[in-house]
Amino acid sequence: MPHDNAKPSHTNGSAGPFWSLFDQSRIPMALIDGERRYVKVNDAMVELYDYPRAELLGSISDRMVVDGRDLIDTRWERLVRTNQLYGERVVEHANGSQLHVSYAAHGTTVDGRWMALIVTLSARPQPDGPELIVTVPVESPRGAESKLTAREREVVRLVALGSNTRAIAAELSLSPDTIRSHVRNAMAKTGARTRAHLVALVLADGLIQD
């Protein structure tokens, strides 16, 4: 269970928009509780890893992790203490193959319970293999936290739904460079290190609405 001093920095007051974006997103996402068990997984996660939803729900979230199992407790303690975690792992697919994934996790409060939102934004059969998820992480310098502009929230919402840069640019009638600039600005303002981290932060902290 989370330690007594582990308090999410933000609370998601309304679960409606959160659940809607969570369910609609083409990015694999999961919510785990304080006992590291899956509480909710979206369709994109089920499709990527090919485990039946009923088999995942209630099971321990680290069950699929192949590498660094000796670091699982350390990573969990860091997530509970700081409410954020990001990195790479090797995860076992339902067919027995292995996927190299990049992920981000962010602690939040949903319906009065502490949970961690886990976002997978990159998955490859090998480190240099083909990308299985449309969008990929990008790096951005950290910056001070501040509120996102309306346009930044609009762009990040589409990122959270799984749209890539070109698709967002076409939908908003903006250039791809402008979209990249909005994403970089949102990452700088939230302190996100990757797009996966950005999605986890804005969804868990309620910074974007449905």
7 is a domain residue: no
| pLDDT, tens only, 163-185 | 889 999 999 999 999 999 999 99
How far is 181 from 152, CA to CA, in rounded Å? 9
Helix axes 150-160, 195-204, angle to 10 degrees: 110
9 is a domain residue: no
43 is a domain residue: yes
Structural domain total, the chain? 1
CB neighbour list of residue 55: distance below 8 Å, 6 or more residues apart: none
What CATH code is carried by the domain that includes residue 39? 3.30.450.20
**HEC assignment per residue over 22-35:** HHHCCCCEEEECCC
38 is a domain residue: yes
- Quick check: 13 pLDDT over 80? no
Domain range spanning residue 20? 15-204
pLDDT at position 136: 37
Average confidence (pLDDT) over 109-128: 86
DSSP 37: B
2 is a domain residue: no
Q: Among candidates 157, 149, 159, 145, which has minimal Cα distance to 188?
A: 145
How far is 120 from 62, CA to CA, in rounded Å? 14
25 is a domain residue: yes
How far is 66 from 93, CA to CA, in rounded Å? 10
| pLDDT, tens only, 45-64 | 999 999 999 999 999 998 88
Which of 25-29, 89-93, 144-148: highest mean pLDDT? 89-93
Q: How confident is the model at residue 209 (pLDDT cuts 50, 70, 90)?
A: low
- Looking up tokens 């890539």 gives 164
Q: Among candidates 29, 51, 56, which has minimal Cα distance to 161?
A: 29
pLDDT at position 12: 40
6 is a domain residue: no
How far is 81 from 169, CA to CA, in rounded Å? 37
Q: Among candidates 66, 29, 65, 63, which has minimal Cα distance to 46?
A: 29
Helices (H), the chain: 15-24, 43-49, 53-56, 72-82, 150-160, 165-172, 176-190, 195-204
- Quick check: 2 pLDDT over 50? no
Position with higher pLDDT, 54 vs 23: 54
Query: Comparing 13-17, 90-94, 115-119, 163-167, which segment has the lowest mean pLDDT?
Result: 13-17
Give the pTM: 0.71
First to last CA, the chain: 31
CB atoms closer than 10 angstroms to residue 47: 11
167 is a domain residue: yes
Q: How confident is the model at residue 207 (pLDDT cuts 50, 70, 90)?
A: low
Q: Are 115 and 96 in contact (CB under 8 A)?
A: no
**What is the chain's Cα-based Rg?**
16
Average confidence (pLDDT) over 187-203: 83
pLDDT at position 86: 84
